[in-house]
Every structure is written in structure tokens, then in C-alpha cells.
């Protein structure tokens, strides 16, 4: 049997809980072979982003062209793209592609540091989102994309439909930023309706990498030929288990979610 291939276009997180490292671990844990295109090198931990070093957009294109020419990619995702030039570089190569595209519209790190330049927002909304099969914003990102904040469960539902319509794609809207509930509610709006995924709130000092993990698991599902609905259910369950198994080290502030061997760590 041939192994399904998932590809990520993302930044490198030195602490490996987010970014392309989270994506590759998630791809592997979900039965796919992962490929990666690096956009930026980020010196960071869950507590601090100390440096962002963007690679030249042409180097991004060389990686992506080579991989698309060499492998039967089943699905791909974009994560941290950082600048307008990086977004345009990706769109130039993917605009005519038939591969399902998951766009995680990464804007801000869990530390609050920006991971997208302000001048890139136009290219994100006008070019990248229009080639997405499914987008996976969190509530602050949804607010920016729609031009109005999303602050309640009712607004979340309206926003998920609004985004799907505005960008003519499916929308998996993550509800984790609503703080007034013991339960988190994510919504998937797609052609045939809306699905709701709920999970109990887990109190953690850091949720670094959660968004990357969810969009990567969704991409793995699509790469395996699962429907959007099945892929979303897989992604939701996988991310919840990874968060529930978060690991921290003695005398160290860092805490990282656990992607691999979900049945082996309790």
C-alpha cells in the first residue's frame, strides 16, 4: 500500500511544539509521510519569540517546486508565511493546483508576538484564502478577517458562516479563545452544513502549537482521502489528546503538547 503524503509550508519553531515540527509530528502520528517547505526560522520557546529570520521567497519556491514535481502530495497546509512576498510566492505556485489546501491563517504566536507582517494581510485575504479548500482561524484571526470581533458563541456561528461565504471555502473556526465556558466549541461550516465539535477546557500555562497541530491533523486526514467532515473529527480528537498529554520539565517553565504515540503516554 502506498503511504499518503502531506506537505506543510511553515516556519521552523526551535522549541518544536509548533510550526513545521508540530506539523511533521502530527503527520507521522496520523499515518502520513510529511514533507516540509520552510518559510522562516524562528528562535522561540512557548514563552518567548526572540528572533524571526525569513528565508528568501525564492528559496521557498525552490523547495515547493521540487517537492510538487517529485511526490504525489495528497494534501497540503500553510502555516506561518510572515510576509506578503512569501504569500505571493506560495500563491504563484498553487493557484492552478488540484491539491486540497488547508490554510491556517497564522497571525500571532501564543506569546502574543506577531508572526505575520501587517503589510501581508491584504495578500492573505485577497490571494491565499481564495485558493483554500478549508481555513482554520481562531477567533481573533476570524475577527481580523471579517473586520469585526467575535466574542460570543452566537457570534462564532455567524462568523464561521460569514468566512465560508466570504472566501468561498469551508471554515473550521476554533473556539478556544472564548474564556467564559468550561467547554470549547469548534465549528466546521462546509457545503452541506455545519458540524460542532466540543471538548472540555484543559487548564494549561501554554497552548503553543495547538493551532498548527489541528490544521496538520486535518491535512493528514485529507491526504488519506477522508472527507472534510471525517478529517475535522480526527483533527479535533487528536489535538485534544495532544493537549491532554502536555509535558513540562522540572525547573523549566516550558510546557509542550505531546503529538506522538498518543496511546503510549498516559
Would you tell me which residues interact with ligand PXL (CB under 6 A)?
Answer: 10-11, 13, 18-19, 42, 44, 79-80, 106, 109-110, 115, 208-209, 211-212
Active site residue 174: yes
C-alpha cell at 90: 506560495
Between 190 and 215, name the residue whose CB sits nearer to ligand PXL. 215
In the complex, the smallest distance separating the C-beta of residue 213 from ligand PXL, rounded to whole angstroms, is 9
Rounded distance, CA 140 to CA 106, Å?
10
DSSP annotation of 208: T
What minimum distance in Å lies between the beta carbon of 111 and ligand PXL? 7
Alpha helices, DSSP H only, in the chain? 19-29, 57-70, 84-94, 121-123, 139-146, 153-167, 210-223, 228-244
- 81 or 157: CB nearest ligand PXL: 81
In the complex with ligand PXL, which residue's Cβ is closer, 12 or 30? 12
At which residue does the C-alpha cell 486535518 appear?
Answer: 218
Quick one: 38 exposed, middle or buried, by C-beta within 10 A (0-12, 13-18, 19+)?
A: middle
- Choosing from 91, 169, 171, 212, which is the catalytic residue? 212
For residue 221, indicate whether it is catalytic: no
Which of 176, 209, 213, 239 is catalytic? The answer is 209
- Residue indicated by cell numbers 491535512: 219
Q: Is 179 a catalytic residue?
A: no
Which pairing describes strands 247-248 and 255-256: parallel, antiparallel, or unpaired? Answer: antiparallel
Q: How far is the CB of 73 from ligand PXL (least distance, A)?
A: 20
Would you call 209 a catalytic residue per the annotation? yes
Q: Is 31 a catalytic residue?
A: no
> Is 239 a known active-site residue?
no
The catalytic residue among 133, 136, 207, 219 is 207
Q: How far apart are CA 35 and CA 49, in angstroms?
A: 25
Residue from 32, 210, 213, 239 carrying the catalytic annotation: 210
Give the active site residues.
174, 207, 209-212
Amino acid at each position: 500500500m502506498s503511504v499518503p503524503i502531506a506537505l506543510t509550508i511553515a516556519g521552523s519553531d526551535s522549541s518544536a511544539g509548533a510550526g513545521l515540527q508540530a506539523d511533521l509530528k502530527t503527520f507521522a502520528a496520523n499515518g502520513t509521510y510529511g514533507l516540509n517547505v520552510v518559510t522562516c526560522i524562528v528562535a522561540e520557546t512557548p514563552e518567548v519569540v526572540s528572533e524571526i529570520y525569513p528565508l528568501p521567497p525564492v528559496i521557498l519556491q525552490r523547495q515547493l517546486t521540487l517537492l510538487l514535481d517529485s511526490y504525489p502530495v495528497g494534501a497540503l497546509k500553510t502555516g506561518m508565511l510572515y510576509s506578503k512576498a512569501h504569500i505571493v510566492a506560495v500563491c504563484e505556485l498553487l493557484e492552478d493546483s488540484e491539491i486540497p489546501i488547508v490554510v491556517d491563517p497564522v497571525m500571532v504566536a501564543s506569546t502574543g508576538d506577531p508572526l505575520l507582517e501587517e503589510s501581508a494581510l491584504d495578500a492573505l485575504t485577497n490571494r491565499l484564502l481564495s485558493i483554500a479548500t478549508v481555513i482554520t482561524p481562531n477567533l481573533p484571526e476570524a475577527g481580523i478577517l471579517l473586520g469585526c470581533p467575535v466574542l460570543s458563541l452566537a457570534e462564532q456561528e455567524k462568523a464561521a458562516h460569514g468566512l465560508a461565504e466570504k472566501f468561498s471555502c469551508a471554515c473550521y473556526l476554533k473556539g478556544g479563545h472564548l474564556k467564559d465556558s468550561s467547554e470549547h466549541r469548534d465549528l466546521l461550516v462546509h457545503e452541506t452544513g455545519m458540524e460542532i465539535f466540543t471538548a472540555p477546557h484543559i487548564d494549561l500555562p501554554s497552548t503553543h502549537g495547538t493551532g498548527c497541530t489541528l490544521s496538520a491533523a486535518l491535512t493528514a486526514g485529507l491526504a488519506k482521502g477522508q472527507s472534510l467532515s471525517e478529517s475535522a473529527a480526527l483533527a479535533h480528537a487528536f489535538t485534544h489528546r495532544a493537549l491532554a498529554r502536555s509535558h513540562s520539565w522540572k525547573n523549566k517553565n516550558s510546557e509542550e503538547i505531546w503529538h506522538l504515540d498518543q496511546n503510549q503516554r498516559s
